[in-house]
Structure 1
Amino acid sequence: MKTNTFITLSTATANVGVLVGLVFLIFEIKQNSAIALSQIRQERSLSGIAEYSSYAQNQAFSRLIGRGLRNAEFDSISPDEWHQVYNLELARMTRIEDVFFQYQEGLIDESVYRFSMAMAAGKMPIWKWLKIVSVNPDFSAAVDAFMDTPEYVPSQSSTIFKEWAKSNESPMRGLGVPRFIQ
């Protein structure tokens, strides 16, 4: 066997080995990506479960949310309770902003993103009234854009709240809006 033939065969064999290695690397990257997405989804689910479980365990707060927000009895909420609602809604906005960020990075699927945008759009009137400010202006723009789509239908409680808020002053006035570091 000539030296050139040997070199050509060994080069071809090495190239095939590199290609096989790349194929395995691609499969491994896809598998790791699927695992990462699964872990993100599981963490989000556990976070939601923990939040709603804490409401269920706190009867007074659970009644406040049921009576005041779900039943749209906004006048029954005291100023101190509005501060509790403020903290709840601030946490909710933060969680939904996280969904927005992860979606932008390709880490959350479309269905979770659309669900979260619908929730944010429904919460936007109360967030504005409570003077809760988004840390990410792109998030606010995305929510506004979602609200302009045909798939967004305001909930009855959101519509009722908008009307109620027109004649009621936010308990957050004069307290200042928290400053966020971007």
Structure 2
Amino acid sequence: MKTNTFITLSTATANIGVLVGLVFLIFELRQNSAIALSQMTQERAAMLVDQNIAYVTNQEISKLMARIYTHFDFDSVTKDEWDQIARHEIIVRTRQRDIWFQYSKGLIDEEVYLLAINSAANRLPLWEWLKIPLPGKFTKDVANRSKEEGFQGSPIRTKFIEWSKNNKSPYEI
């Protein structure tokens, strides 16, 4: 075997080895991506479970949440309770902004994103009334979602908008 033939065969073999290595690397990266996505989903679910367990075990908070989000009894809420609702909504806003951000980077499924953006659009009037800080692009996307054809406001959105027309925010300056 001539030296040129040997060099050509060894180069071809090395190149095939590199291609096989790249194929395995691509499979491994896809697998790692799926595992990371699964971990993020599990962490998000665990946070929601923890939050709801805290509500269930605290009867006062549980009753307050029911008055606001189920019975829409906004008139019964005291200033201190509005403070609790504001803190709760800041947590919700932060979680939903995180989902929005991860979706914009291609890290979250559209189904999860749509649930979060619809929930945020339904809460936006409450957030504005509570004077919760709202980051720019996220807020624009949420506001645009509420104007899109096919968007249906939830009962809390509809009832809160109507109620808030005649009720000043306790956070007005």
Q: TM-score, normalised by structure 1?
A: 0.92
Q: Which moved more, 1:20-29 or 1:103-112?
A: 103-112
Counterpart residue identity of residue 41, structure 2: R
Return the offset for 1:157. 2.1
Give 2:102's aligned residue.
Answer: 102
Percent identity, aligned pairs only?
49
Say whether 1:37 aligns with 2:37: yes
2: CA distance, partners of 1:56 / 1:156:
22
Code of the residue aligned with 1:54 in structure 2: it is A
Q: How does 1:15-54 map to 2 (within 5 A)?
A: 15-54=15-54
Shift, 1:149, TM fit: 1.8
Gapped runs of 5+ residues in structure 1? 175-182
Q: Which moved more, 1:146-155 or 1:1-10?
A: 146-155
1:63 deviates by: 0.3
Extract structure 1 runs of 4+ deviating beyond 3 A: none
Say whether 1:90 aligns with 2:90: yes
1:6 aligns with 2:9: no
What is the RMSD computed on CA atoms of the aligned residues?
Answer: 0.9
Q: CA deviation at 1:109?
A: 0.7
Task: Provide the secondary structure at the position in 2 that maps to 1:39.
Answer: helix
Q: CA deviation at 1:69?
A: 2.8
2:83 and 2:24 mapped to 1: Cα distance? Answer: 54
Structure 1 position 68, deviation (Å): 2.6
Alignment-mate amino acid for residue 172 of structure 2: R
The 2-side partners of 1:59 and 1:124 are apart by: 27
Deviation at 1:144, TM superposition (A): 1.3
Residue 159 of structure 1 is matched in structure 2 by 158
Query: How many angstroms does 1:12 deviate by?
Result: 0.4
